[in-house]
Amino acid sequence: MSVFNQSRKRVIQFIMLGTVLVIVARLFYLQVVETKYSKLADANAHLRKVIYPSRGIVYDRHGRAVMRNEALYDLMVTPINVKNIDTAYMCEILEIDMKEFQRRIQVARNREGPRRPSVFSSLLSPEMYGKLQESMYLFQPGFELVQRPVRSYPYGVGANFLGYISEITPGMLGDTSGKYSSYQQGDYIGMTGLERTYEDILMGQRGIQYLVKDNLNRPQGSLEGGIFDTAAVAGKNLRLALDIDLRYWVKR
């Protein structure tokens, strides 16, 4: 073999060796160093579901509940999974038009990203919940119903000191003092009265449930038997020195 052919052979060998080394280095970077793709894979295979806690109940001096919880439902959306659903029927149930539907989808994308659940319609009326529940198969896997405990006031008095709760505002979430660091968009917080004063006691702690999804994005059960789940912790109850009957008769 001529000297010229030997030199060309060595050049080809070096090129092939360099190409293999580049491929190996790139694979090492993608699988070991870069975490973005593993996070995307986890997001595709797992569903992170928020479990809202029951807010603490407020009793009067005789143990009668003057503020308690009732179960209502939020309609949650995962934007990336909203495909080939009957949007016209959903708009009819929710009493909105297509423009509002698209606006809410965009708000959900901006709020939590396309792969995480976000509130699409909060605190559904019993009529809306009933219609949605019987037709949810038409809207899955993009939409799901999530139970949320909300406040009720059985005696209908004392609003000036009992206060009320409402969804946390963007201004609160943007507070740099860290006062609202444990809250997320969609959480409810005491705004006035006792609800605000004793917020830390009444609020409880949300839980997280991780579910495995199949190739059609349908939940198939707990991830690893639930070892990664966090149970929701109900808020602590509050007992007042007040006799609610006195407030009731004063109002009358």
| Structure confidence by residue, pLDDT tens digits, 80-122 | 888 888 888 888 888 888 999 899 889 888 887 887 888 888 8
d(CA 25, CA 22): 5
d(CA 22, CA 89): 53
pLDDT > 60? residue 2? no
Report the pLDDT averaged over residues 57-78. 86
Beta bridge partners of 74: 146
Give residue 215's pLDDT. 61
d(CA 220, CA 234): 27
Average per-residue pLDDT for the chain: 79
pLDDT > 80? residue 57? yes
d(CA 185, CA 173): 8
pTM: 0.60
Q: Is 61 left (phi over 0), alpha (psi -120 to 50) or beta?
A: alpha
Residue 8 is which amino acid? R
Residue 40 confidence class, pLDDT cut points 50, 70, 90: very low
Beta bridge partners of 167: 188
Report the percent of the chain where pLDDT is more than 90.
Answer: 4
pLDDT > 60? residue 1? no
Nearest one of 60, 237, 56 to 161, comparing CA atoms: 60
Q: At what angle do helices 87-94 and 126-135 cross, to 10 degrees?
A: 160
Nearest one of 93, 204, 108 to 148, comparing CA atoms: 204
